[in-house]
Amino acid sequence: MYILKYIFTIVSIGFLSFIQAGEIKKVVYIVSDTSIPFWKIMENGVKENGLQLGYKIDVYNSNNNRKTELEATVKAIKEKVSGIIISPTSSSSCVTILKLATKAHIPVVISDIGTDSGEYISYISSNNNEGAYNLGKILVQKMIALNIKNGKVGIIAIPQTRINGQARTTGFLKALNEASIKSVGIKQQITFSYQETYNYTKEFIIKNPDLKAIWLQGSDKYEGALNAINDAGKKDKILLVSFDAEPIFLDLISKDILVGAAMQQPYLMGAKAITTLNKYLSGEKVEKNIQLPILAISKENIKQNLPIIQKYVFGITK
């Protein structure tokens, strides 16, 4: 027993020395809300690629709460982590996080959403403006093909305090304006729940007899919109398009239940965030802003894009 305790002590001391020597580096990923599949896939991109690079990755879920997010940041700083990857709850909340991390001399990579100001190593984002514009064109083309005239579009948006949300709205409205199609307005998500999406869709339908389409700026509560449309007796009369994607979208788009989706590549974004941080920690020069393309997917191009969608959109790597 004494020999076993001695061996355990020696191994433990050696392991601690290994950590203190800097051979094992810890990175914390602070993510806005892992109950939303998009963020869970991005988390997998960070973790799987981080482990391959030899990092210990801890994930702190903010649950879309700024206080929880701030507490996670303070905890990471106290642990003296090698770096932080942040997907903030909002662009404004990110400012405080960056101030704290900068003061503690901890490098930060932002993955999506963005910040209003502050110092960071790199910002990994999607081209939200272009992605939303191309999705808007898919909707416009569908409306023209169905000979829908004077139809209007309702927008259920992510918070417009987020830079990515602002970019999505701008790009989408540009596509509508080019085709002289008007929006009936924007409703911003607060709870990100099924019921909220259902209620917003129902309200759009009741107040706007000329409503012909709904655009969701997030994908995970698509059933709320579909059910509201069906319950109102508007199936096949009100079109639905979405930003981001769920695995079932492959089937829904193929069956014309969903007109199209602008698919970000969250797994690729997570992978890019940790590899960029690793480059910085290795003394290499990194790009300040890295913008990844968004796949504008419709029934016409879904098959040819399937391999990319499976790996980088849904994170299916095995």
How far apart CA 293 and CA 50 sit, in angstroms, is 22
pLDDT given at position 113: 87
CATH number of 128-263: 3.40.50.2300
Q: Which fold has domain 24-125+266-292?
A: Rossmann fold (3.40.50)
Are 88 and 113 a contacting pair, CB within 8 Å? yes
Nearest to 50 by CA among 77, 32, 24, 76: 24
Residue found by looking up tokens 């987020």 in the block = 162
First to last CA, the chain: 43
pLDDT given at position 36: 87
**Contact residues for 126 (Cβ-Cβ < 8 A; gap 6+):** 112, 164, 264, 265, 269, 291, 292, 293, 294
Question: What is the pLDDT tens value at each position of the chain, 318 positions in all?
Answer: 434 443 343 334 344 434 444 467 999 999 999 988 899 999 999 999 999 999 999 999 999 999 999 999 999 999 999 999 999 999 999 999 999 999 999 999 999 988 999 999 999 999 999 999 999 999 999 999 999 988 999 999 999 988 889 999 999 999 999 999 999 999 999 999 999 999 999 999 999 999 999 999 999 899 999 999 999 999 999 999 999 999 999 999 999 999 999 999 999 999 999 999 999 999 999 999 999 999 999 999 999 999 999 999 999 987
pLDDT given at position 23: 60
Are 239 and 213 a contacting pair, CB within 8 Å? yes
Give the start-to-end residue ranges of the domains of the chain.
24-125+266-292, 128-263
* Strand (E) or helix (H) holding 153: strand 152-157
pTM for the model stands at 0.82
DSSP 26-59: EEEEEES-TTSHHHHHHHHHHHHHHHHTTEEEEE
Same CATH fold assignment for domains 24-125+266-292 and 128-263: yes
Which spans in the chain are helix H? 2-20, 37-52, 66-78, 91-103, 128-145, 163-178, 194-207, 222-231, 249-254, 266-281, 306-308
C-alpha dist (Å) from residue 60 to 40, 47, 198, 273, 274: 12, 12, 30, 16, 15
Backbone angles phi, psi at 296, to 5 degrees: -90, 105
Structure tokens at 196: 């909220």
How far apart CA 318 and CA 309 sit, in angstroms, is 14
Alpha-carbon 281 to chain mean position = 25
pLDDT given at position 178: 97
How far apart CA 192 and CA 57 sit, in angstroms, is 27
pLDDT given at position 215: 98
How far apart CA 263 and CA 293 sit, in angstroms, is 9
C-alpha dist (Å) from residue 221 to 77, 156, 182, 196, 218: 34, 11, 24, 9, 7
